[in-house]
Structure 1
Amino acid sequence: MRIGELAELAGVSTRSLRYYEAQGLLRARRAANGYREYGDEDLRMVREIRSLLDLGFGLEETRPFVECLRDGHETGDRCPDSIAVYQHKLAELDACMTRLGEVRERVAGQLERAVAARLADPRCEFSP
């Protein structure tokens, strides 16, 4: 299939496909006329990339998954390097959630103090 067909089937732009190719994630074959040609395995790789990007992975983080598919595995997350990326991403997300929880507590405390101060001020009318 040509680049436009792959883009349509994968739900991405041809520009994205060219970028993935420039980054070494896709390997287009060239027809005699110079057009890029792709197969079903390329569609699987692009779908894997898009799926991971949609989850918040960086493009470089998708590389082990693509290589796993390229090595003939049914899915891109069957290889040790892919599992390591999952583990790293989970640790990263846990750290973000911890930090967000701390920030939330600080903001809630500030709100509580602000409301209490406003209620204590006789010059302010306040309705929560």
Structure 2
Amino acid sequence: MRIGELARRTGVSERLLRYYEEQGLLRPERTPSGYRRYSDADVAAVRRIRTLLAAGLSTSTIARVLPCVCDVGERLVPCGGLVAELRAERERMDRQIEELVRSRRLLDEVIDAAPPEARPRGADWPAAS
């Protein structure tokens, strides 16, 4: 199938599919005239890529992970050697979340220090006392 058909079947734009190829996530065959040719396996690969992106992985991490992930029903299952890397990635995300929570607390302190007349009123803001 050509790139337009892959885009229709996956709901991913042609531009994004080309980006996935640039990142080494997809490797379509090429016709003698240079057109990309995709298979049903590429449809499944795009779905895996989208799931891994939604899980917060970078494209460089996905490039390493993708060859070692398979579909079992509706779930992605990694090979055994990949679990440690995925756990490390999750720990990195946990650290980022903790940093964001700390930053939000500091920002709340700055907002709370503002005089009441500078605070907008609304559902998310308490009325000035």
Partners of 2:50 and 2:87 in 1: CA distance: 19
* 1:3 corresponding residue in structure 2: 3
TM-score of the superposition, structure 1-length normalised? 0.70
Query: Which residue identity does 1:74 align to in structure 2?
Result: D
How many pairs does the alignment contain? 117
* TM-score, with structure 2 as normaliser: 0.70
Task: Tell me which of 71, 74, 78 is aligned to 2:71.
Answer: 74
Task: Give the conservation status (yes or no) of the 8 Å contact 1:3–1:14.
Answer: yes
Contact 1:6 / 1:38 at 8 angstroms: preserved in 2? yes
Question: How far apart are the structure 2 equivalents of 1:111 and 1:74?
Answer: 47
Q: Which has the higher helix share?
A: 1
Aligned position for 1:30 = 30
- SS of 1:74's partner is strand
Larger strand proportion of the pair? 2
What's the offset of the Cα at 1:78?
1.8
- 2:128 is matched with 127
Structure 1 gap segments, 5+ residues each: 117-125
Q: Deviations over 1:32-78 (max 9, x none)?
A: 44321111111111111122222322111112332124xxx435542
The structure number with the bigger radius of gyration is 1
1:67-105 deviation line (CA, Å, top 9, x unaligned): 124xxx435542245423421221112112222332333
CA contact (8 A) 1:2 1:36 kept: yes
- Identify the range of structure 1 (23-32 vs 41-50) with the bigger mean alpha-carbon deviation: 23-32
Work out the CA distance in 1 between the residues paired with 2:114 and 2:15.
50
State the partner residue of 2:18. 18
* Alignment RMSD (CA, Å): 2.8
Query: CA separation of 1:102/1:2 partners in 2, compared to 1, >3 Å: closer, same or farther?
Result: same
> Could you tell me the percent identity over the aligned residues?
36
Q: In 2 relative to 1, CA 115–44 (structure 1 residues): closer, same or farther, beyond 3 Å? A: same
More displaced, 101-110 or 31-40? 101-110
Rate the CA distance shift 1:33–1:86 in 2: closer, same or farther, 3 A: same
Unaligned runs of 5+ in 2: 117-126
